[in-house]
């Protein structure tokens, strides 16, 4: 069936489960960006002190593991809070439908009337949707909750940790593989290129400005790398490292 037949514009996201997919995208992009920037910042900072490969390797592994676990825990807590709130609202709505069906039908009718629909039409729509799936109808109209879009905290945590590891592996491998004279500039270039790619992908899928989205990510990464390298070089010069 074509987009014309369904009445949907090809550039508009009408598919079901949109919120879930966007949440996965958000967690994935943020995790990859954090992995790229965080691990690269640690590696560049340590390399800036002039220490050997062993120290850089240890620092990189610590940054990868610690960062991935931190992202997973943070995402799990965040999504768990959201999920718990949604589940509590769903339980409350289910109880109200069981104990006060007439009042809930009137409430649903009023919600549709508030959108500019006539009372007769709003009542008919409310009755038909209630007969089909009362809970789903009320959750959508009253609370903006879609039962298909309830996100799993474990899935979000796993996706975030995996994305961090994938993003962080790039600067980790580059920093260790490139000889000392070129280690810092090549890592800088690889990281900024990777950030430009993730920024472009994020902006494209989200429908925002590619140039602005990419510029924000690349500029932020460049500032982070420059700052950590400067601190590392300063500590190496003063003999603190």
pLDDT digits (tens, 9 = 90+) for 48-105: 887 778 888 899 999 999 999 998 898 899 889 888 888 888 899 889 888 988 898 8
Length of the chain: 241
Please indicate, yes or no, if residue 6 is contained in any of the structural domains. no
Please indicate, yes or no, if residue 92 is contained in any of the structural domains. yes
**CA–CA gap between residue 17 and residue 42 (Å, rounded):** 37
Please indicate, yes or no, if residue 31 is contained in any of the structural domains. yes
Please indicate, yes or no, if residue 55 is contained in any of the structural domains. yes
pLDDT digits (tens, 9 = 90+) for 185-200: 888 899 989 888 888 8
Please indicate, yes or no, if residue 22 is contained in any of the structural domains. yes
pLDDT of res. 15:
46
Please indicate, yes or no, if residue 5 is contained in any of the structural domains. no
**What is the count of structural domains for the chain?**
1
Please indicate, yes or no, if residue 235 is contained in any of the structural domains. no
Contacts of residue 159, defined as CB under 8 A and 6 or more positions apart, other chains included, come to 24, 27, 28, 31, 75
Q: Where are the alpha helices (DSSP H) in the chain?
A: 3-6, 18-48, 53-99, 101-113, 119-138, 153-177, 180-206, 210-238
**CA–CA gap between residue 228 and residue 43 (Å, rounded):** 9
pLDDT above 50: residue 1? no
State which residues form the domain around 192. 17-230
pLDDT-derived band at 121 (thresholds 50, 70, 90) equals very high
Please indicate, yes or no, if residue 4 is contained in any of the structural domains. no
Task: Note the pTM of the prediction, 2 decimals.
Answer: 0.71
Closest CA to 93 of 151, 149, 147, 135: 135
């Amino acid at each position: 069936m074509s987009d014309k037949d369904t009445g949907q514009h090809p550039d508009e996201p009408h598919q079901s489960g949109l919120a879930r997919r966007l949440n996965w995208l958000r967690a994935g992009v943020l995790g990859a960006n954090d992995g790229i920037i965080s691990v690269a910042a640690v590696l560049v900072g340590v390399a800036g002190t002039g220490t050997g490969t062993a120290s850089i390797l240890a620092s990189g592994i610590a940054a990868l593991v610690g960062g991935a676990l931190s992202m997973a825990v943070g995402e799990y807590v965040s999504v768990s809070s959201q999920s718990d709130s949604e589940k509590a609202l769903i339980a409350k709505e289910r109880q109200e439908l069981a104990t006060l069906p007439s009042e809930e039908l009137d409430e649903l009718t009023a919600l549709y009337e508030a959108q500019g629909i006539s009372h007769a039409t709003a009542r008919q729509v409310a009755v038909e949707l209630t007969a089909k799936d009362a809970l789903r109808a009320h959750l959508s109209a009253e609370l903006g909750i879609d039962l298909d879009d309830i996100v799993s905290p474990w899935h979000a945590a796993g996706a975030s940790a995996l994305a961090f590891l994938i993003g962080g592996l790039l600067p980790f491998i580059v920093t260790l593989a490139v000889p000392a004279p070129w280690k810092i500039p090549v890592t800088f270039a690889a990281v900024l290129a990777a950030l430009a790619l993730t920024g472009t992908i994020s902006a494209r899928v989200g429908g925002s400005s590619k140039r602005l989205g990419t510029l924000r990510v690349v500029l932020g990464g460049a500032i982070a790398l420059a700052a950590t390298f400067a601190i590392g070089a300063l500590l190496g010069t003063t003999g603190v490292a």
